[in-house]
Structure 1
Amino acid sequence: MIDLHVHTWRCRHAEGTPDEYVRAAAARGVSTLAFTEHLPLAPEIAMTVPGAERYAMPLDEFGRYLDEVAAAAELGKALGVEVLSGIEIDAVPAGLRHARELCTGRRFDVVLGSVHFIDGWAFDDPARRDRYAEWDADALWERYFSDVVRAARTADVDVMAHVDLVKKFGVWPEGPTRDLYRSLARDLADAGVAVEVNTAGLRKPCAEIYPGQDLLVELSRAGVPATIGSDAHRPAEVGAGAAEAVAALKGAGYRSVVVFRDRRPEEVGIDEL
Structure 2
Amino acid sequence: MLNFKWQHLILSLACILLIIACNSSSPNIQPDKPVIKVATDPTFIPFEFQTPQGEVVGFDIDLMKAIAQAANFTVNFESLPFDGMISTLQAQKVDAAISGITITPERLKTIAFSRPYFKAGLAITVREDNKDIKNFQSLQGRQIGVQIGSTGADFAKTIPNAKIITFNSGPDFFQDLINGNVEAVISDAFATLYAINNGKIKGIKIVADLLTEEYYGIATPQKSPYLDKINQGIATILSNGKYKQIYQQWFQYEPPQLPR
> Do they superpose with TM above 0.5?
no
Structure with higher helix content: 1
More RCO (CA 8 Å, sep 6+): 2
